[in-house]
Amino acid sequence: MTTYTVGYLVGSLSRESINRTLSKALIRLAPPSLTFTEIGIGNLPLYNRDLDASYPPAALELKAAIEAADAVLFITPEYNRSLPGALKNALDWASRPWGANSLTHKPSGVIGASPGALGTALAQQSLRGVLAFCNAPQMTAPEAYIHFLPDVFLEDGTVANESTEEFLRTYMQEFADFVERVHTILPQRRGQG
């Protein structure tokens, strides 16, 4: 069995993030071919292109972590019908300096949870636009717009609803298959701008 490392980014900085809870559920339900490392975004300064020639350590760490991972998974809230600024900021750092885009050819997945019925659909659409420009291949199906219910998603990552659990298990299996496909057909190159 070939195994793949997944760097996951939680788009929320909140200590009580429901998206962090969702990330625990996804890790629990993922097939054994995937291993997970969180890529933190909370210590990054705001992106400033004046620093392109001397990237701050937190941004260098972010780029190194993305480049070291076989795939990236974004688990994000929706803020004002878009992706949160903290996550966009991380993507801006990762994409630069010009010619050294860490996201190039990196297989990616997008998922998110909201207490609202739309389940982060618009945030995911915004994020997909950014990933497309950054040349990160995306799993486009299945889509996963998670309406977060506290009695379904327990703090330790247990999912107390069979059909939701099955849906998320399928999502992670599909993601594993997608990552394998990308690695089979697309050579991983770094710094392609």
Ligand X SMILES: Cc1cc2nc3c(=O)[nH]c(=O)nc-3n(C[C@H](O)[C@H](O)[C@H](O)COP(=O)(O)O)c2cc1C
Radius of gyration from C-alpha coordinates of the chain = 16
150 binds ligand X (CB under 6 A): no
State both tokens at 38. 């969180």
Q: Which is nearer to ligand X, 156 or 162 (CB)?
A: 156
Q: Smaller CB distance to ligand X: residue 33 or 125?
A: 125
The answer to whether 92 touches 49, Cβ cutoff 8 Å, is no
Residue type, 34: L
Output the smallest distance, CB 38 to ligand X, in A. Answer: 14
* Binding test (CB under 6 A) with ligand X, winner from 7, 8, 26, 78: 78
Q: How far apart are CA 137 and CA 40, in angstroms?
A: 21
Q: Do 88 and 79 form a contact (C-beta atoms < 8 A)?
A: no
How big is the site for ligand X, counted in residues (CB under 6 A)? Answer: 14
The phi, psi pair for 98, rounded to 5°, reads -50, 130
- Residue of the chain from 3, 5, 14, 170 that contacts ligand X (CB under 6 A): 14
Interacting positions 118-137 with ligand X (CB under 6 A): 118
Near ligand X by CB under 6 A, which window of 66-74, 98-106, 111-119, 169-177?
A: 111-119
Member of 5, 46, 68, 81 binding ligand X (CB under 6 A): 81
Going by the DSSP 8-state scheme, the letter that residue 40 receives in this structure is -
Q: CA quadruple 133, 138, 143, 144: dihedral positive or negative?
A: negative
Residues that bind ligand X (CB under 6 A): 12, 14, 17-19, 77-81, 114-116, 118
